[in-house]
Chains A and B, each alone.
Chain A
Amino acid sequence: MTTMDNKKITQDTLLQGETDPLTSTPVHLLNLDKVGKHYGNIIALRDVTMAVDAGRVTCVLGDNGAGKSTLIKIIAGLHQHDEGTFTILGEDRKLSSPREALDSGIAAVYQDLAVVSLMPIWRNFFLGSELTTGVGPFKRLDVERMKQITKKELQDMGIDLRDVEQPIGQLSGGERQCVAIARAVHFGAKVLILDEPTAALGVKQSGVVLRYILQARDRGLGVIFITHNPHHAYPVGDRFLLLKRGKSIGYYNKKDITLEELTAQMAGGAELAELAHELEALGGHKDVVAEVEAEVEATESRRA
């Protein structure tokens, strides 16, 4: 992007002269340093270090139970961390509510929590932050303006829109995610947390959402993209944080890792080998076992 509009927070302002956002210590949009969280005696997360910058996508990868949700809950203000530091624009923070996170420019788009499906698109877009006109008892919704803005914002995201009056439940899963993203962008989010936006989507729809992630990035937002699919993360991500059982098992800049390595790290070669043995013990089909074994070999050779 050569032109900068007002909404874009420039990387220069943010990094104050630093050139490499990964190795630099100064001001990231968000920065987590050795963050940890425990619920009673259960350690949900420990030693997580990651950064988010404007116009960059930070991917958080991990299997179920890896601590992804705990991490985003800390960033989105639903939970507070117990260890380490969490800074927003260099300032040490502990967010106590989603509202406080929103006020700091952090918006989370949850997979299932995005919208109220029976309500029209424009009502959903402005839900909780409705525009009004008039005073006193005649204060009313500015319906026309809200419809217009909704239409425009969605067009800017490149969403080919049908009719803002239709219930949002009639949109496809990908489109709904996009409306939620466009909404967060419109209401001044600087950091966008996307919780598994592609998990429930088909191949084509996932592609659509990935494109919108890039759109949001190009508009100058810092994006945190949570997923368990390295094939979705790699093409759009700038940084990759890998979580496993509540611990960071890797934090890479894109230039330092290939898709194959990322996949291998995610899958965990040892676990695949174990799976092969289990299948054998169960007397599974020979060809399936052979396939898994081949996969293990391939993974190991890549690692070597």
Chain B
Amino acid sequence: MDVRSQISMVFHLDKCIGCHTCSIACKNVWTDREGTDYMWWNNVETKPGTGYPTKWEDQEAYKGGWKSDGKELELRSTSKKKIVPNIFHNPSMPSMDDYYEPWTYDYKELFNAPEGDDQPTARPISMITGDPIEIQAGPNWDDDLGGSKVYAANDPNLSVLSDQQRQQMQAIERLVMFYLPRICNHCLNPSCVASCPSGAMYKRGEDGIVLINQDRCRAWRACVSACPYKKTYYNWSTGKSEKCILCFPRLESGQAPACFHSCVGRIRYLGNVLYDADAMRAAALRPDNELVDAQRELILDPNDPAVVEAALRSGVSENVIDSARRSPVYRFAKEWKLGLPLHVEYRTFPMLFYVPPLLPVMSVSDGALVRSDVDALFADIEKARAPIEYMGKLFGAGNSGKVRYALRKQLAVRIWRRHVTVGDVTAEAASKALLEADCTVEQADAIYRLSTLATWEDRFVIPPFQREAAMEMMVDPHEHRAGAGFGFREAPRRS
């Protein structure tokens, strides 16, 4: 058993209000430079919808992630066999058209236009060339367009639904949508790392954060094709790929990543989990419908003495193990089975887990009136407007049972709390709901507390990074006393 610690995350989708504050926080901190202008390391999509880049989930076109025949794992895009003949032109590389051409407005014109009869206007201009452009689309062009024939109807995940179900989802009174915030998943088995011809991409051993060495990246672009989530981006100006770094400089100083910290709905949780790296390969070879369980089995119980012993033997320190014991991610993803990985069928084992949204029928039209129906709040999840198969395609690799379990448990907690706080649900009914949802009273209270009342310290359990100890391994602090603290780095410029 090779025990490692991995920083992982939970996004509670029932709480996401789609405000894009996370995206803006990230953009302002990391991607407001030339070449990164089109990148959104954090973006928020409306589901059903086509997302960013457009239809990124369509791996027949984009060729991201791994494929498996049960014996071997192979990259869909450029495996070792395929890289040699395709090194000069990447066959599955998305282009800027799949994202969007970034633009700004010619604000100067508002001030400098000569006097005339018309109001001066600020025309959109390309942030790449400076030429005036016609804006065709943007990164969140499908925002809130749950019923759109252009966006929602083209969601690749709808393929699992029958025509009738699809038409129902388009019907105006059943229109349904929810928000899906996405960042790099910092996968256990990252296909981007495996695809990099230069070996510039790597996973940090101590915390599992996936990074790109900017000096070693030589612009082969294989990672852009290989990442099934399209979360590595090509910087067209420096000729280097860039991606979400999980704000590791912030984490190392005990702060939550910018997108986590700024989240208005407080939907984001972060903590480390322990996992068995030796078991990963076998887990990645399991059939699609077992993958959610396979990933859960990789995550180890930090309270199990055998795990603790193995972790210490693998070099995980005592206080990192202690942090894993308090991790909100462990509780959501492993203990409560509420957190589910997004598209685990890509076999990268994404370490960002989503609590699926309940999306209940909130109101019922009664002739000309729309009346609020309290009973419907607690109606069976099978009647929810988003077909369970659709959610199963997103969060269960087609195994809807995993989503049904998570939704039923959330619903049971809601019924239980209704009993406690309002009292119009009987104790028997509430207990029965909990029992059916495989949930104890203690667990229901814990889920309620962590979902709704959690403080900063509850939501972000950041393990000690021990960078000071790591630095001492590389440089002797006494020898470097009074030296230049930050060293001499080359500016990221080509000329």
Q: Answer yes or no: do A and B interact.
A: no
Chain B interfacial positions (CB closer than 8 Å to A): none
Chain A interfacial positions (CB closer than 8 Å to B): none
